[in-house]
Amino acid sequence: MPQTPLLYTVVKHWVRLGMSAYFKRYAITGLQHVPASDPIILAANHQNAFLDALAIAAHLNRPVHFMTRADVFAKPWVAQFFQNLNMLPIYRRRDGVDTIEMNKPIFEATARILNQNGAVVIFPEANQERKHNLRPLHKGFARMAFGAAEQNQFSAEVKIVPVGINYSHHIKARTSLLVQFAPPLSLVDYMPLYKETPQKALKKLTDDLAPRITPLMIHIPNGHYHATIDYLRTLYEPVLRLKHKQPDNLPQNYRRQQLIVEALQKLALHQPDIMEELAHHTQALKQQNKTHALTPDTLAKPSANIMKTALYCILIPVLLPLFVVGWLHHVPLMKLICFTLHKKVKDLNFMASVKFLAALVVFTLFYPLVSLLAGWLSGVWWVVPAYLALAPFSGKVALFYQETLWHHIQQQFTYRRLIAKPNTALLKHYRHICTLLHNLIP
């Protein structure tokens, strides 16, 4: 297995820590399916630029190499930095070069990595899109795998590990991320066909990978009802969860959403009139909810326990001082980062990735600098470590205050006002949707 650069190890743990702050909820499943020492290609869906690669690599207990667009390697010092992070340049047709010729050294390099029992992350869709579906796969990963086998006289037992990446929102921070790994495909199973007809083996392996990735992600085929299905999978998931008294965790939430998506796809195919009715009520509900901003969980649950609401009302003034400290240390700086990026980043596909890395770098520098400043102004040495601990802690309190306490009170107040008028249009549309879906999904 290739030696892990020190910079890679440091950055991996740094990124993992950053993800725990950037995402409100995130989970990794199926790590037991990733071989510990075999040569592997991790083949994943691609929705969010290099944040996808970071989401995979940060949680593996082995180093991985990434394919990265070649134009970012233009400057020598940048190229050296990326190489220390195990990144390899890959040329695309849009770069205006002969991709087959220019990528030969890269395919040779990946073959060497795999033949040293290394790991490579690749996105077979060959492009990215902020939509919950899997686009047609390209054969590059298969060429890479068979190329490594050929270089090693077909003795390398390369495994292809399917990976599914699911974002609840592709741009916003403090949302959820679920990464799922499945049992690998073994290249050995395709060797007889490859030795007989290489092109058929490439196609067979590519065709076999797609149905291994789709169960790991929310896959909604492009079509007239794509937006409707995408909205209803999150709207009805809490109802299904409460109906079956199931736990609220990302892997199970994902499975329930998958059931909803599959049921709605069948409905659109076999009963388009009912699907059209659902689409009408969904659009009306979305329009009505713009002013109320009620979450699916609030709409699905009965009014919250009064004792819980009372406790939250007590905690709000008690934690207010820490909330103010946390807000002042984080929100203005984060607003400045977002404001700058919205002016600089033209391609929204890169917004979340750049925002994550910018926040990670800025706050890593900000915490020690503001702690040193506090120590210098106070003239007391212990203020530095105390402030260094207080600043991120105050941020966690501020998030809890805003996302849990204040959000709960606000949602309950809005919901209670609505149920006081049971014939409100929003509630009528919501109940009609739930009735239709209740009959559709057991």
- Among 184, 216, 248, identify where a domain stops: 216
Name, in order, each residue with C-beta under 8 angstroms of 352's C-beta and a sequence gap of 6 or more.
48, 49, 51, 167, 170, 171, 172, 173
Averaged over 264-292, what is the pLDDT?
96
pLDDT tens readout for residues 96-110: 555 567 778 888 888
Give the HSE-up count for residue 233: Cα atoms under 13 Å, Cβ half-sphere: 25
Query: Do residue 370 and residue 390 come from a single domain?
Result: yes
Query: Do residue 289 and residue 359 come from a single domain?
Result: yes
pLDDT of residue 431: 94
Distance between CA atoms of residues 108 and 185, nearest Å: 22
The domain containing residue 441 runs over which residues? 223-442
pLDDT of residue 104: 80
- Among 169, 201, 216, identify where a domain stops: 216
- Among 216, 238, 257, identify where a domain stops: 216
Tokens of 146: 């068979």
pLDDT of residue 183: 98
pLDDT tens readout for residues 400-432: 999 999 999 999 999 988 888 877 899 999 999
Query: Do residue 65 and residue 87 come from a single domain?
Result: yes
pLDDT tens readout for residues 135-179: 999 998 999 999 999 888 777 789 999 999 999 999 999 999 999
Distance from the first to the final alpha carbon of the chain? 48
Query: Do residue 174 and residue 289 come from a single domain?
Result: no
Query: Do residue 249 and residue 172 come from a single domain?
Result: no
Give the chain's length. Answer: 442
Query: Do residue 351 and residue 269 come from a single domain?
Result: yes
Residue matched to tokens 């049971």: 422
- Please check whether residue 434 lies inside any domain of the structure: yes
Give the amino acid at 81: F
Answer yes or no: is pLDDT of 282 > 90: yes
Query: Do residue 203 and residue 229 come from a single domain?
Result: no
Query: Do residue 240 and residue 280 come from a single domain?
Result: yes
- Please check whether residue 1 lies inside any domain of the structure: no
More confident residue, 350 or 199: 199
Query: Do residue 323 and residue 411 come from a single domain?
Result: yes
- Please check whether residue 293 lies inside any domain of the structure: yes
User: What's the chain's Rg over C-alpha atoms?
Assistant: 25
Separation in Å, CA 304 to CA 165, 245, 307, 407, 419:
33, 16, 9, 13, 13
Query: Do residue 417 and residue 333 come from a single domain?
Result: yes
Quote the number of domains for the chain. 2
- Please check whether residue 284 lies inside any domain of the structure: yes
Report yes or no: 257 and 237 within 8 Å, Cβ to Cβ.
yes
Query: Do residue 303 and residue 410 come from a single domain?
Result: yes
Answer yes or no: is pLDDT of 70 > 80: no
Query: Do residue 248 and residue 204 come from a single domain?
Result: no
